[in-house]
Structure formats: structure tokens, C-alpha cells
Chain A
Amino acid sequence: GDSVTQMEGPVTLSEEAFLTINCTYTATGYPSLFWYVQYPGEGLQLLLKATKADDKGSNKGFEATYRKETTSFHLEKGSVQVSDSAVYFCALRYGGSQGNLIFGKGTKLSVKP
């Protein structure tokens, strides 16, 4: 069945460092891909998404490109801040716009000043 694999955490970076969180997926067909973020004590929030191959999602300085050839959707940010400390979840949606989400296990990011 469809699945999402994320790099294991936790990831600890210094402020202003470059961030990459790897995400690969297995799916039949062409899913939409998402990154959600969960700040401490809060619910999951959509960070960015891409709905077809070669689309780039971006938000708050984060970017991810839908790579069909490598079945990947890696999350990147050029310069992280302390306020980016959170758990990041990669997800795919199958079954079109009304379909269900399948999440990866999450990657915890800690940014030190």
C-alpha cells in the first residue's frame, strides 16, 4: 500500500544553519504531497504542499519539490531559526482532492541559538 518514509530524528541544528529533512514515498498513481508542522502544544498545521510532479511548494522560507523520478519530497530551508523548532511530518494524499492523508513518522527539529 501507499506509504511515506521520513529521515529519523531528532535533528539538532544551530541557528542560521541549512536544513534538509528527507521524505520519500511509495504510491500507486500520482498522489499529492504535503509537509505539516507541529509546534509544541499545538495541532498540526499545513506548511506546504505540491499536487503534481515538479511542483515546488513553499512557505515561511521552507521549500519542497515533488520529484516523481526519485519519489521524493525533501523539505529544505536555507537558514533556520529557533522558532522553527517543531516536529515535521511528510504526508501523501491518495484518491484525489477528497482522499485521505498518510503520514510519515515525523522528524523532530531542535534549533539552538
Chain B
Amino acid sequence: EAGVVQSPRYKIIEKKQPVAFWCNPISGHNTLYWYRQNLGQGPELLIRYENEEAVDDSQLPKDRFSAERLKGVDSTLKIQPAELGDSAVYLCASRPGLAGGTDTQYFGPGTRLTVL
């Protein structure tokens, strides 16, 4: 079974530029999460989807961050414009969902963003 796939793995951009990250969850997983992990810190939730609905986006900085999961499968997280403080690892995780039989979150390898 393939794990959570994220791309790109690394991204370097100039400040004020836009950037997008892509995540493909494990097949059949209805719940998808985006986290941000700053250097030396644990992951912090940005947004959680149940299928195509964003059910918790309270920690997403909506002035510059946006996310979508149009068909309830893969998802894109966008930053526009990027700031120096956005340098971090962006993690995607998925879970089967309410009737999936397990509550374990499975994490992708992350996208390391560097903003210069």
C-alpha cells in the first residue's frame, strides 16, 4: 500500500513569491491534515478536511494561506505571498475517517520550504 505522497520534497523561493504544495493521501482515507513544522518544533495543525469539507481551519493564516481538496482525494496548500517566516516543513497526513476502523494518522515525508 502506498503511503502519503507529497511534492515537491524541497522548495526554495524568494519572499513575496507564491508557492504550492501537493498531497495525495492513502487511498480510501477520507480525513486529510496539513501541518506546519518549524525548525526544532513539533508539527502544528493548519487545516483538517473530512472528504472535501474543511472542518477545522482555525489555525490557517487566511490572509496568505489557502487550501483545497476539490474531489475529496488529493489536496493543495498554497501560500501567496510567501514571507521569510514561512520557512518550515509542511506535512500532510491522512486517516481513514469516521468509519475507517483506525484513528491513526499517517504522515507524508513533508515539503521543506525555504523562503529567501
* Chain A residues proximal to chain B, CB less than 8 Å: 4, 36, 41-46, 49, 89, 91, 93, 97-98, 100-101, 103-106
Which secondary structure characterizes the binding site on chain B? loop
Residues of B within 8 A of A103 (CB): 42-44
Q: Are A105 and B42 in contact (CB under 8 A)?
A: yes
CA distance A53 to B98 in the complex (A): 24
Q: Given the known A-B contacts A98-B98, A100-B48, A100-B56, are A43 and B107 also in contact in the complex, defined by CB atoms under 8 Å?
A: yes
Q: Are A44 and B98 in contact (CB under 8 A)?
A: no
- What are 7 A-to-B residue pairs whose CB atoms are below 8 Å? A44-B43, A91-B42, A97-B103, A98-B31, A100-B45, A103-B44, A104-B42
Which secondary structure characterizes the binding site on chain A? strand
Q: Are B109 and A41 in contact (CB under 8 A)?
A: yes
Q: Are B42 and A43 in contact (CB under 8 A)?
A: no
CA distance A58 to B39 in the complex (A): 28
Digit string of B74-116 for contact with A (CB within 8 Å is 1, else 0)? Answer: 0000000000000000010100001000011111111000000
Q: Which 3 A-B pairs have the closest CB atoms?
A: A103-B42, A43-B107, A44-B107
A66 to chain B, nearest CB (A): 16
Q: Interface size (B, Cβ < 8 Å)?
A: 23
List CB contacts (< 8 Å) of B5-56 with chain A: 31, 33, 40-45, 48, 56
CA distance A4 to B44 in the complex (A): 12
Q: Are B41 and A101 in contact (CB under 8 A)?
A: no
CA distance A25 to B104 in the complex (A): 20
Q: B3 within 8 Å of A by Cβ?
A: yes
Q: Are B91 and A44 in contact (CB under 8 A)?
A: yes
CA distance A36 to B4 in the complex (A): 16
Given A43-B4, A106-B42: 8 more A-B contacts, CB < 8 Å: A4-B42, A43-B106, A44-B43, A44-B91, A46-B105, A91-B42, A97-B103, A106-B41
Residue of B nearest to A43 (CB): B107
CA distance A9 to B104 in the complex (A): 26
Which single member of A41, A43, A46, A104 contacts B104 (CB below 8 Å)? A46
B4 to chain A, nearest CB (A): 7
Residues of B within 8 A of A91 (CB): 42
